[in-house]
Structures are given as C-alpha cells and as structure tokens.
Amino acid sequence: MKAFFKDQRTSGFLTKFFTYLFLLALSVVILYPILITASSAFKPGNIAAFTLEWSDNWTLNNFSRLFNDTLYLDWYRNTLIIAVTTMVFQVAIVTIAGYTYSRYRFKGRKNSLIFFLIIQMVPTMAALTAFYVLAMLLGALDQFWFLTLIYIGGGIPMNIWLMKGYFDTVPRDLDESAKLDGAGHFRIFGQIILPLVRPMIAVQALWAFMGPFGDFLLAKFLLRTPENLTIAVGLQSFIANPQQQKVALFAAGAILAALPICLLFFFLQKNFVSGLTAGGTKG
C-alpha cells in the first residue's frame, strides 16, 4: 500500500514538473519576440537588425517619426475600419446561421454544411488570381469594401461550423420550455439562447477583428495606393529593402498595432468562460 501511494506521489510530481517545464518553455517562445520588438522600438536612431539589448537611452522618437514622417496613421485608420466592419458583419452572419443550422431542419442543410467544409479546404493562395480578376471586373481594385467582403466571406464557412457546434451544446429543453410559455422564435433566440453562447460570440469577434491586422497576402495583392495600405503591408515596406531597413520604426509600429487587439481581448475576456449552460435546465 505504501509503495502504491509512493508511486502515485511520484507520478503526480513528474506530471506537475513536466507541465510547468512546458509552460516555461512556451512562455519563453512567446515573450522573447515581444521583448525584442519592445527593445528595438525604444532605441535611439535607426538600427539594422532586431536585438535584445536594454540600455538607459530609451526614446519615444521612433513613435514621433512614425506619426510625422510616414503614412502610419492612414494605415492604422484603414485597418481599424476594415477590422471593425469585418467583425460586426461576420459575427452577425455566423451567429444567425449557426443558430439556424443547429435548431432547424430544412432542405439542403446537410449539403450546404458539406459545401462549407469543401470551400474551407481551398487555400487563399489558390484564390488570389480569382480575387484579382473579380476586383478588376467590379472596378474594386485598391478598394476597402472589396477586401472587407473577402474577409467577411472567408471567415463564414468554418465559423458557422464552430458556432453550430456551440449552439448544439445548449439544451433544447430551454427552447421547449420557452415555447410552452408562449415565446416566439425571435424571443427564444435573442433573450434565451443568445446570452448562453456569449463565449463563442466573443471568440468569433476577436478572431474576425484580428484577421485584417495580421493578413499580409490579400492586402498586398489587392491594395496598391500607399495611402490605402493596411498596417501589415505598410510595416513590411519598412524592412522590404535590405539596404534601407527601418527596424526601429517597424518595431514601434508593431507595438501600436497590437494595442487594439489587446484592448478588445481585455474587454471581451469576461465572456471567455465555459460551462455557462451547465445549470441551464436545473431547478
């Protein structure tokens, strides 16, 4: 018996040890690039490469140059407009579609879900030429609205599957009870079911908002005018020329680009909880 408990304690210790070791290694992998970027952003003058060197000569001059000598504010505004629009429309469409696929049975339901999976398998690289030709035909090259539509449509297929799966976890007993009390479809959706799926809605909102900030390929392919670029494409221009790299400006711009995402995350984090529906049918 003593040997059994000893083996249990040893096993528990090893589990905790390797868990913390893994978390420590993961923290280093995540924090190291952030520290390098922060270190480079506050260094005086221009630097040729990212380095992790801390000194007393910190300066905000790089941020001043970013606002006064570049088109960074235009890129920032463009990206925010695209990101907010994408988030609002994509979350609305995905939420309504996910609820519809979860709660209703209609002709073509199964085939359309399979179609969404097939569409999701097509890589962005394979559709670049089609997007370019379509933009030319519509006169939408170098236009925000076309890029925004692509972001919205591109996130719908797989996110509908995710949202449908989350709606499926909400007990149908809630729907039936509400119907017995005389509630209609819209009231059941808006007042009963929707509050219970807030965690997934928050996740969908964050993903949709992050997309335009991190995407480089589509924006580079469809946007041409320097004033119309997004942050990702604009920052890349600082380091595109190996002979004239502006690493300090790139680092400063990258830090500022992360602020809206961080603020949205902290605003939505209260919704990032699970088990909201665990006691929904008790009592």
pLDDT average, residue stretch 203-220: 92
Contacts of 71-74 spanning 24+ positions with Cβ under 8 A: 71/226, 71/227, 71/229, 71/234, 72/231, 72/234, 72/253, 72/256, 74/227, 74/228, 74/229
Q: How confident is the model at residue 55 (pLDDT cuts 50, 70, 90)?
A: low
Q: How confident is the model at residue 45 (pLDDT cuts 50, 70, 90)?
A: low
User: pTM for this structure?
Assistant: 0.84
Q: Evaluate if residue 160 carries a pLDDT over 50.
A: yes
pLDDT in tens, 233-271: 999 888 887 777 788 888 889 999 999 999 999 888 888
Side-chain-side CA neighbours of residue 26 (13 Å) = 6
Percent of all residues in the chain with a pLDDT value above 70, rounded to a whole number? 88
Q: How confident is the model at residue 279 (pLDDT cuts 50, 70, 90)?
A: very low
**Average pLDDT in the chain:** 83
- The CATH homologous superfamily for domain 70-238 is MetI-like (1.10.3720.10)
Of 22-26, 107-111, 123-127, 223-227, least confident by mean pLDDT is: 123-127
Q: Evaluate if residue 71 carries a pLDDT over 60.
A: yes
Q: How much is the pLDDT for 270?
A: 82
Q: How much is the pLDDT for 174?
A: 82
Q: How much is the pLDDT for 48?
A: 57
Q: Evaluate if residue 275 carries a pLDDT over 60.
A: no
Domain regions of the chain by residue span: 1-60, 70-238
